[in-house]
Amino acid sequence: MNLRTMTLLALGAGFALAGCQTRPQVTIDTPITAAELAPYKKRGTATVVGRAVLKDAIGKTATCRGQQVLLTPAVAYNRQMVAAMRAGQKPVAGPKVGTTEAYWRKAVCDARGRFRFHNVPAAAWYVSIPVHWPDEPREGAVIKEVRVPPGGTVNVLLSERDALR
């Protein structure tokens, strides 16, 4: 699976996990509405900082060093996509859903596995990073929903508990 596909997975625009295992497919038709997107249009004053730490196949700690981190709106459509993946399903977007792409924010993990987003509006967001587990035939992501208040700093730790495989 390529990075573009993983980006779509993590962002909710496609949310498709491919792999050798067969997963039941489910179509998500919930439209993304202008009302849902309104909070994401505002200029925010909050900061989201975090890091990602996972264990590799031999138990060694690995960070997200150099990986792209995505901050995406946690609208109803994206929540349903994530819930389907957590339930072991393969979600696909319905034909007239819409997109949240205009509101995506991107960062890159530094050498210590840390990331930062500035001027984030108050809303619910997904923080996600694509991951490839060398001992498994498919790729996935670590993804966590965070609530960002109006101002201040939100600290996020992505770990094995947040993995979608």
Mean pLDDT by 10 residues, the chain (165 residues): 34 37 86 95 96 78 88 96 91 89 95 94 96 64 95 93 84
Q: 29: exposed, middle or buried (C-beta count within 10 Å: 0-12, 13-18, 19+)?
A: exposed
- The closest of 49, 48, 61, 64 to 109, measured between CA atoms, is 64
CATH class of 3-164: mainly beta
Tell me, yes or no, if the pTM score tops 0.85.
no
Q: Residue 88: what pLDDT?
A: 87
Question: Apex CA 14: angle with CA 163 and CA 76, to 5°?
Answer: 80
Instruction: State how far the Cα of 139 lies from the Cα of 59, in Å rounded to an integer.
Output: 18
Q: Residue 140: what pLDDT?
A: 77
Domains of the chain: which residue ranges? Answer: 3-164
Q: Residue 95: what pLDDT?
A: 85
Q: Residue 59: what pLDDT?
A: 75
Q: Residue 54: what pLDDT?
A: 82
